[in-house]
Structure 1
Amino acid sequence: MIKSKLTLKQLEAFVQVVDTGTFRKAAAALGTTQPNISARISSLEKSLDVVLMHRDAGSVRLTDVGTTLVAAARQVIWSGEALLEVAKRQDLIKERLRLGVTELIACTWLHDFLRAFKKSYPSVSVELQVDLSREIDRSLVSGQIDLAIQTAPFSTELGGNLPLGNDRYIWVATPEIVQDIGTNPAMTDLFNHSILTHARHTQSSQELADFADLNNVSQNQIVHSSSLASCLPMAVDGMGIALLPRQIVSDAISQGRLVALNCDWTPSDLEVHARFDDKRVPRFVRHAAEIAQQIAAETRR
């Protein structure tokens, strides 16, 4: 019978080596040792009487038969997951979700998502990367993370892409600054103050720079920050006028610490997506993206 010849651990080792590129990285991903990975693949090759890959210095190359069989191996692993889902025993899925999110998500609904995901997959651990969207994008494309919750645009299109909605930007300032400029200032008047906003290479910052160039306004007053968590208290402390996503500043506005300004220009909305490689990742990654979609919708109600 097949059970006496093949095991899921062998197939998982095979797929992980293909996805990560090395035995060492595959061992780290599966929480085991490099010799164990090597032994599982050697046993798989012996059982099938084939050579799946050539071991070169520090890397592997699939043979033609290995290229064909890796797709079949994924199907077997996905079918195993599906069986546990039908049996409602997701608790038996002992895996790791490598998750990348932007700081906007980390500062708003990330913990709601993590609680909901833990309830559905209690035995799946989460490894978290919080970074700029372009860095998250690079990690996703290179296979270093499984699921990215990030903002457009993207460097590469993937088959797994669930839209999570838009987040719009808003201009805010302290009540003291508003006494000076009013709640309906002209955009050019804002540049008489420091402007606190996103990191330099983000889409909103580029649009702000383009606006300044088009209107012959100096960009010297723009203060870029890669940390939204730091940018918000700077605004609350009156260190400048801030251009930030509404979700980040909504509490400060409701508490009266910041006031929303009615300006005639804001950058494009942030388009948030949950993205993954649907040809590679386990089934629970897609389910994680669907959970993120549900949590994001609830947050915007």
Structure 2
Amino acid sequence: MIKSQITLKQLEAFAFVVDTGTFRAAATALGTTQPNISARISALESALDTTLLIRDAGSVRLTSKGKRLLEKARQVLWAGEALIEEAGQQVLIEERLRLGVTELVACTWLQEFLRLLKGAYPKLRVQLEVDLSSVIEARLMEGQLDLAFQNDPFKSSAFASEALGAESYCWVANPNLIAEIGRSPRAGDLFQHTILTHSKDTQAGHALHAFAESQGLGRHQIVHSSALSACVPMVLEGLGIALLPKTLVRCEIASGNLLEIAFDWLPDPLSFYARYAPSRAPLFVAKAAKLASRAMNPAKDEVYDK
């Protein structure tokens, strides 16, 4: 039988150092100190009587033996988690989920996701990052995130990508501005006013610029914002017309504080995905991705097997 010289914490430290690239990053991800990580790795190497990692300046790399043992270490960690899941004792999972989401997710269905996650894993801690989809993907590729809720397109296809749903866009303005331009303005009339929308480097930002160019319209009227939520009070104040995901302004439209504009061009809907690395992620990450689908689509009668 395996003796107590080898622990799950040692195997976890080994996997995280490889995934994050440094002892310091692994310590941050695991909520501990760099000396603790070093001690766990040293104890594991001593117990196995082999060198797993070679410490270079500022980074680490696997030895040939380390490469072979890494997959075995992951299998032990997954088996331990599967044992807990099978016993129905998810309360014993006291891990940290490093989650990256876009602002739109944070402003809409993130709270419902966190509620569902709390019900499934009561002691799971969430470390949240909110940023542009491109930044989130970079963090995922660096091993600094376990799970990302982001919209396509993606630079890397090396991750599991579970489709969550799509968010459509709409044109909106406050009633005073609508009285001036009407509910069905022409493109030229629309672009006489400030257009508040996504960051320029987003899919919708590129599409809006391409549309304006194709119609011979001035693009200087387009005001981009990396914070979509900041556009809402601006359009409420009549500082411009907004092209935004409809879910972000649904309440304002329902209350009549904003009116939807009937215009025959819209960018493609934002398609959202839950993305993670199944080759290294804990099992609860895949379960969390399924919960995200329920949170984004509450009307769907989905069954989640804990």
What TM-score results when the alignment is normalised by the length of structure 2? 0.95
Q: Report the equivalent of 1:3.
A: 3
Q: Report the equivalent of 2:150.
A: 150
Counterparts of 1:236-247 in structure 2 under 5 Å? 236-247=236-247
Structure 1, unaligned runs of 5 or more: none
What CA deviation, in whole Å up to 9, does each residue of 1:191-230 have, x standing for no partner?
0111110111111011110011111111011111111111
Q: Report the equivalent of 1:47.
A: 47
Q: Report the equivalent of 1:19.
A: 19
Distance across 2 between alignment mates of 1:144 and 1:39: 22
Question: How many angstroms does 1:300 deviate by?
Answer: 8.0
Q: Report the equivalent of 1:278.
A: 278
Q: Report the equivalent of 1:119.
A: 119
Question: How many angstroms does 1:132 deviate by?
Answer: 1.0
Q: Which amino acid aligns with 1:235?
A: V
Question: How many angstroms does 1:26 deviate by?
Answer: 1.6
Asked if 2 retains the 8 angstrom alpha-carbon contact of 1:158 and 1:275, the reply is: no
Question: How many angstroms does 1:20 deviate by?
Answer: 1.4
Asked if 1 retains the 8 angstrom alpha-carbon contact of 2:29 and 2:144, the reply is: no
Q: Report the equivalent of 2:253.
A: 253
Greater mean deviation of Cα atoms: 90-99 or 25-34:
25-34
> Which secondary structure state, in structure 1, belongs to the residue aligned with residue 17 of structure 2?
helix
2:234 pairs with 1:234 = yes
Q: Which amino acid aligns with 1:278?
A: P
Counterparts of 1:115-194 in structure 2 under 5 Å? 115-194=115-194
Question: How many angstroms does 1:3 deviate by?
Answer: 3.1
1:157–1:104 distance in 2 versus 1, CA, 3 Å: same
Question: How many angstroms does 1:31 deviate by?
Answer: 2.4
1:227–1:217 distance in 2 versus 1, CA, 3 Å: same
Q: Which amino acid aligns with 2:286?
A: R
> Which secondary structure state, in structure 2, belongs to the residue aligned with residue 3 of structure 1?
coil
What TM-score results when the alignment is normalised by the length of structure 1? 0.97
Distance across 2 between alignment mates of 1:205 and 1:39: 49
Q: Report the equivalent of 2:304.
A: none
Distance across 2 between alignment mates of 1:18 and 1:127: 20
Q: Report the equivalent of 1:92.
A: 92
Asked if 2 retains the 8 angstrom alpha-carbon contact of 1:158 and 1:278, the reply is: no
Identity %: 53
Structure 2, unaligned runs of 5 or more: 302-306
Q: Which amino acid aligns with 2:294?
A: Q
Greater mean deviation of Cα atoms: 229-238 or 35-44:
35-44
Asked if 2 retains the 8 angstrom alpha-carbon contact of 1:27 and 1:37, the reply is: yes
Question: How many angstroms does 1:299 deviate by?
Answer: 6.1
Q: Which amino acid aligns with 1:94?
A: E
Asked if 1 retains the 8 angstrom alpha-carbon contact of 2:159 and 2:278, the reply is: yes
Counterparts of 1:70-85 in structure 2 under 5 Å? 70-85=70-85
What CA deviation, in whole Å up to 9, does each residue of 1:107-126 have, x standing for no partner?
11111111111111111111
Distance across 2 between alignment mates of 1:28 and 1:131: 19
Asked if 2 retains the 8 angstrom alpha-carbon contact of 1:234 and 1:240, the reply is: yes
Asked if 2 retains the 8 angstrom alpha-carbon contact of 1:175 and 1:258, the reply is: yes
> Which secondary structure state, in structure 1, belongs to the residue aligned with residue 55 of structure 2?
strand
Distance across 2 between alignment mates of 1:205 and 1:184: 22
Greater mean deviation of Cα atoms: 6-15 or 244-253:
6-15
Q: Which amino acid aligns with 1:229?
A: S
Distance across 2 between alignment mates of 1:28 and 1:178: 51
Distance across 2 between alignment mates of 1:247 and 1:196: 16
Q: What is the RMSD of the two structures over their aligned residues, measured on CA atoms?
A: 1.4
Question: How many angstroms does 1:90 deviate by?
Answer: 1.1
Q: Report the equivalent of 1:288.
A: 288
